[in-house]
């Protein structure tokens, strides 16, 4: 079997794991994974997980030693919280691999200061609106900039924090929501100290899992914003309808305005669920729109530029 995209291979691996077919998963990722060099660390992660599940610890260690040799690393969250690695915790060889990854990560990012990328308009002033934009999982602040850069052309200051939750080298995530919320709050406070902007005109945006964080913080008032932009988002409150209803009430009272964007070719999101979420927001009395971008997938496409500008105009109208 061959796969035209890594997403297809990834889905098949998920299916094997859900069915408990771990040897089949290992055979598959060893046979096909090498075709996807851009997803090297994700492939190696699958190789290690599958090897661990069939108790082939030597192979898992061999995979890790090879990517360490090339200067690549995996974040401690992945080592500690991955279910496949649970039986390995405390094993001397496993702990050696964790320590080596931590050493390489520290060499890559020796500072404890969180990364915040800023792009500022030419005429920055106390009247300048601010957009805080969050990258998706398995991405970086720099990697998500193209989605949000059009805001600067529209006179916005743009602040893009990078999650401190490392998955792999060059890939970060927002899965620990408490940590994520605090980091986004800190980003806003940092901007207050570093630049001039209108604190009454702050928009929170996010792509993919960054969209999940942005939606929850904006709806609940966890961050004091007047606007929300969610591009191809994962959705919060899936199993908490009462909490969602309360968040809608709070958002309406604060005058929140929201704009959702998704590509019509984006197969990495639940499109029907997003449509339903937007309709629920409208029914709750929250000004909200959904724009479908023709031909766009989950990754950045220049056709998203106009959608971002439309979102900013809608929120500021």
Taking the CB of residue 216, how many other CB atoms lie within 10 A of it?
A: 21
Closest listed residue to residue 148, CA positions, set 201, 190, 198, 205? 205
Stretch 12-37: mean pLDDT: 97
CA angle 215, 199, 302 (to 5 degrees): 55
Is CATH 3.40.50.1820 the classification given to domain 116-316?
A: yes
Per-residue pLDDT at 1 exceeds 80: no
267 or 210, greater pLDDT: 210
Beta strands 257-263 and 227-231: pairing type? parallel
282: confidence class by pLDDT, cuts 50, 70, 90:
very high
Confidence of residue 105 (pLDDT cuts 50, 70, 90): very high
CA torsion angle for 215, 216, 221, 226 (degrees, to 10)?
A: 0
Residues 6+ apart with CB under 8 A from 243: 237
Render pLDDT for 39-80 as a digit per residue (tens, 0 to 9). Answer: 999 999 999 999 999 999 999 999 999 999 999 999 999 999
**Quick one: pLDDT at residue 17?**
97
- Does this model's pTM top 0.75? My answer is yes
State how far the Cα of 207 lies from the Cα of 231, in Å rounded to an integer.
Answer: 5
Judge whether 219 and 251 are in contact, CB under 8 Å.
Answer: yes
Which tokens sit at 147? 């989605």
Mapping DSSP onto H, E and C, the string for the chain reads CCCCCHHHHHHHHHHHHHCCCHHHHHHHHHHHHHHCHHHHHHHHHHHHHHHHHCCCHHHHHHHHHHHHHCCCCECHHHHHHCHHHHHHCCCHHHHHHHHHHHHHHHHHCCCCCCCEEEECCCCCCCCCCEEEEECCCCECHHHHHHHHCHHHHCCCEEEEECCCEEEECCEEECCCHHHHHHHHHHHHHHHHHHCCCCCCCEEEEEECHHHHHHHHHHHHCCCCCCEEEEECCCCCCCCCHHHHHHHHHHHHHHCCEEEEEEECCCCCCCHHHHHHHHHHHHHCCCCEEEEEECCCCCCCCCCHHHHHHHHHHHHHC
CA 267, 269, 272, 278 dihedral sign is: negative
Domain with CATH 3.40.50.1820 in the chain: 116-316
Rounded Cα distance between 96 and 243, Å, is: 43
Q: What is the pLDDT of residues 248-272, one digit of tens each?
A: 999 999 999 999 999 999 989 999 9
pLDDT, position 28:
97
């Amino acid at each position: 079997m061959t796969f035209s995209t890594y997403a297809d291979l990834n889905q098949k691996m998920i299916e094997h794991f859900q069915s408990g077919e771990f040897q089949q998963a290992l055979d598959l990722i060893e046979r096909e994974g090498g075709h996807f060099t851009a997803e090297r660390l994700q492939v190696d992660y699958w190789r290690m997980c599958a090897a661990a599940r069939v108790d082939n610890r030597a192979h898992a260690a061999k995979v890790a030693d090879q990517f360490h040799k090339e200067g690549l690393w995996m974040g401690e969250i992945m080592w500690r919280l991955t279910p496949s690695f649970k039986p390995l915790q405390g094993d001397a060889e496993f702990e050696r691999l964790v320590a080596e990854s931590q050493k390489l990560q520290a060499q890559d990012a020796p500072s404890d200061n969180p990364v915040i990328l800023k792009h500022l308009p030419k005429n920055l002033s106390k009247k300048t609106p601010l957009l805080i934009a969050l990258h998706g999982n398995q991405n970086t602040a720099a990697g998500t900039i193209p989605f949000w850069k059009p805001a600067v052309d529209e006179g916005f200051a743009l602040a893009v924090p990078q999650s401190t939750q490392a998955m792999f080298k060059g890939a970060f995530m927002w899965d620990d929501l408490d940590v994520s919320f605090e980091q986004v709050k800190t980003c806003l406070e940092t901007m207050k100290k570093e630049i001039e902007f209108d604190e009454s005109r702050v928009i929170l945006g996010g792509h993919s899992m960054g969209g999940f964080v942005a939606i929850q913080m904006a709806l609940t008032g966890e961050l004091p914003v007047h606007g929300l932009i969610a591009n191809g988002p994962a959705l919060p409150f899936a199993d908490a309808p009462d909490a969602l209803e309360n968040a809608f009430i709070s958002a309406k009272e604060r005058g929140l305005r929201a704009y959702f964007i998704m590509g019509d070719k984006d197969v990495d999101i639940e499109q029907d669920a997003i449509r339903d979420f937007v309709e629920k927001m409208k029914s709750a009395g929250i000004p909200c729109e959904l724009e479908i971008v023709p031909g766009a997938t989950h990754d950045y496409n220049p056709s998203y530029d106009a959608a971002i500008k439309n979102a900013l105009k809608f929120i500021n109208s």
